[in-house]
Amino acid sequence: MVRAAVTDLLHQLEQRFGHPLRPLTQGSEARTFGTDGLVCKVYGPTPSWPNQPAGPFAAHLEAANMSKAGLGAWVVEAFELEGNGVLVTRRFPGQNFAPERFTPEALESLRDFFRQLHQIPEMGVVSQQRLEARLEQFGGTLHDLEDAQRLVGWLRGHVEEVAGTPQAFCHRDPHAGNVLLRDPGADAGVPAAFLVDWVRACPDDPARDLAILKTGTLDLLGEPQALFALRSIVRGYPDAPTLWPRLRFWVPLTYLHDMHWFRANEPQGFESAVTEKMPKALRFYQEFPEL
C-alpha cells in the first residue's frame, strides 16, 4: 500500500473504532495497528508474495484458523474495507519472545498449546514427493557447500521414515516474532505464551512445527537450553516416541531452508546465516539424542 492509501485507511479505521491507532509492525503479508486493547491487521488487496492469501480472504482465513486453534475468544471481527482485509483481535498483554523473559511457566504453556493444537486431525499424510522435492531444491541452491550436500544426502535416507505421517493442524511459522510472552503483572488467566499470525496455518507434520519452533525461537536460548525445552515439549505428546525421531529429519531440513531463503532473498545475509546455521544443523543430526 502506498503512503497516501495507508493514511486514508488508517483514518477510516480510527473513525470506525473511535480511537487513535498506532503502527505496531509491518510484516511480509500485512500491516498491523493497535490501541491499548485491540490489534487491527490489514491485508492489502494483492499478495506480497506469490501464492499467499490477500485482502478479505486472508483476514477471514486467519480468523477461522485462530478459532480452529482454540483462540476464537481473541477474534473480534474480520471485514473488508476498500478491497483490504481487516482482522481485529483482542490485544495480548505481552511482548515478542526474549530469552530473559522465557519462564518455566511459558515453556509449560507452549507445551500444552502445541500438544492440543497437534491433536486436531487433518486429511492426508506427509507427501514423499514433496519431501524429495524440497531436498532437491535445497541441494540445488546450496550446491557449492560441501556440508550442505552431505547433509542433504543423509536426510534422503530418512524420507521414507517421515513420509506417510498423518497430518495434523499446524501453525507452520512459530518463529520468535510470532511467539509472545505474557507481561509481568498481567492477568494470571492469560496464557504465559501466545502464538500470533495464523494465516499460514494448515495441515502438516507436527514435527515440522516443532522444528521451526526450535530453530526460529528456542535457539535464542542457546543450544543446550533449546534442546532441553524441545524435549520437554515433545515428552508431553501421546505419540512422543514416534514424533521425536522425525525431528532428526525436520530440524536440519529447517536450517537448510533458512540458508536457502537467505541465498534466494537476502544474499547479503547468506554468509552469516551459513556460519550460524550449518554447524547447528550438523550437530543436531550427528549428535541426535535420545528422548
Q: For the segment 37-55, what is each residue's pLDDT rounded down to a tens digit?
A: 999 999 999 887 777 899 9
The residue from 90, 106, 134 where one domain ends is 90
* Spacing of C-alpha 181 from chain mean position: 15
Do both 73 and 109 map to the same domain? no
Do both 39 and 174 map to the same domain? no
Query: Is pTM beyond 0.85 here?
Result: yes
Do both 154 and 82 map to the same domain? no
Q: For the segment 226-258, what is each residue's pLDDT rounded down to a tens digit?
A: 999 999 999 999 999 999 999 999 999 999 999
pLDDT > 90: percent of the chain: 83
Residue 20 included in any domain: yes
Give the 3-state secondary structure percentages of the chain, helix then strand then coil, rounded to 5.
Answer: 55, 20, 30
Residue 167 included in any domain: yes
Do both 239 and 99 map to the same domain? yes
The residue from 61, 90, 119 where one domain ends is 90
Work out the pLDDT band at 5, boundaries 50, 70, 90.
Answer: low
pLDDT at 7 over 50: yes
pLDDT at 123 over 70: yes
Task: Tell how strand 84-90 and strand 38-43 pair up.
Answer: antiparallel
Which is nearest to 42 in space by CA: 87, 99, 98?
87
Total domains present in the chain: 2
Residue 291 included in any domain: no
Domain carrying residue 134? 95-286
Q: For the segment 10-20, what is each residue's pLDDT rounded down to a tens digit?
A: 888 988 888 88
Do both 73 and 128 map to the same domain? no
CATH number at residue 114: 3.90.1200.10
- Which single residue is written with the C-alpha cell 554468509? 271
Identify the pLDDT of residue 2.
41
